Amino acid sequence: MNFFKQINEYAHLNYLHPNRMPWEQAAVGDELDFLSRALVGEMGQEDKAVAYLYKELAQLAEIEMHVATVMSRTLCELQACNTPFIAGDGLYHALSCFAAEEINHANSFYQYVRHLSGRDIKLENNLFRQRIELYCHENDAPLIKLAALCSTAYVGESVITVFERRLKVLDPMQHSFLTKLLHFHGLDEARHIRCDHAIFDEVIPTFTAAERKRMHHLIQETEALNTQLAKASAETVKAAFDLDYTEGNHAAKTQLDMTMRFREQVQSGDLIRKVDDYMDEETAAVVRQFSLASRVHTGLSQL
């Protein structure tokens, strides 16, 4: 079986559908206390934990919708592309599943933060038009766009994998709503990571020097727009909650630190590198301190 086809062999059994979670129960029982301890790092910081999750997961939903949109458009463009990678139905299946799952994640995270907080804050300044236009240049081959898109999504997917592991260490029986949500989300993400890795291993090394340069340009521009989106989202959520959720917030600090480190490790070479292959000692220590494991992506082949 084609490798890309194989990735989604069990996707119909192990997945997050938005109907899987009872959203109205997002904040019941000890959940807010757990979130305060697991994220901010101390008791009594429930508001900070909720505002932090609102900002990060609503912003992630925006990024997931962008990934899904660009990926499905790129897949249509690939139909007219003379590349052996589009032969058969392997890549078509893998990218269709990837894009569809990202829409389900965006839907899930928006429902989650709204029920968790009891608020409905729109991220009006989401830069969607600019982020789409970046991937509309006629001269860019579809595979270059796909490589750039996956190289940027991969960093966030790696960071949330570490968060999922931290919650499972603190809550091994998965009593918490968020632990369960990240578990189901992680079932899909493990497949996305395998798809990203296949693109890094099989597709990017076939690019010419000029194509790699263009890919890196798209990566930098995407990251720059994502950084602007993060700033705008932070301002919106801080104003709505009237609270600086980053102050004394262990998870917020670690997330930013890991994002910068992973981005550098993954994107700074000529080719795109897997996060665990170039993990330096300092970064491994940050990951271990947060999740009790030094590697980010483990056991992917069993999923």
Contact residues for Fe ion, defined by CB under 5 A: 64, 105, 157, 189, 192
State the DSSP string of 17-84: -GGGS-GGGTT-TTHHHHHIIIIISSTT-HHHHHHHHHHHHHHHHHHHHHHHHHHHHHHHHHTT---G
How many other CB atoms are found less than 10 A from the CB of residue 91? 25
Say if CB 99 and CB 149 are below 8 A apart: no
- Between residues 144 and 193, which has the closer beta carbon with respect to Fe ion? 193
The least CB distance from residue 64 to Fe ion, in Å, is 5
Which is closer to Fe ion, CB of 40 or CB of 150? 150
- Provide the CB-side half-sphere exposure for 198 (13 A, CA): 20
Distance of closest approach, residue 102 Cβ to Fe ion, in angstroms: 5
Nearer to Fe ion, 200 or 241 (CB): 200
Q: How far is the CB of 179 from Fe ion (least distance, A)?
A: 17
Q: Nearest approach, Cβ of 40 to Fe ion (angstroms)? A: 24
Residues with Cβ within 8 Å of residue 276, at least 6 apart in sequence:
295, 296, 297
Cα–Cα dist 161/157, whole Å: 6
Q: How far is the CB of 80 from Fe ion (least distance, A)?
A: 26
Whichever of 140 and 189 has its CB closer to Fe ion, that residue is: 189
Cβ closest to Fe ion, residue 38 vs residue 153: 153
- Tell me how far, at minimum, the Cβ of 288 lies from Fe ion, in Å: 24
Cβ-based nearer residue to Fe ion, 65 or 215? 65
User: What value, to the nearest 5°, has the Cα angle with vertex 105 and ends 291 and 16?
Assistant: 80
Our CB check for Fe ion shows the closer of 60 and 116 to be 60
Closest distance to Fe ion from the beta carbon of 256 (Å)? 19
Give the long-range contacts of residues 265-270, CB within 8 A, separation 24 or more. 266/151, 266/154, 266/155, 266/158, 267/151, 267/152, 267/155, 267/216, 267/219, 267/223, 270/212
CA terminus-to-terminus distance, the chain: 16
Q: Are 75 and 99 in contact (CB under 8 A)?
A: yes
Angle in degrees, 0-180, between the axes of helices 142-170 and 177-198, rounded to the nearest 10? 150
3-state SS class at 281: helix
Residue nearer to Fe ion on the CB measure, 7 or 40:
7
* Nearest distance in Å: CB 43, Fe ion: 30
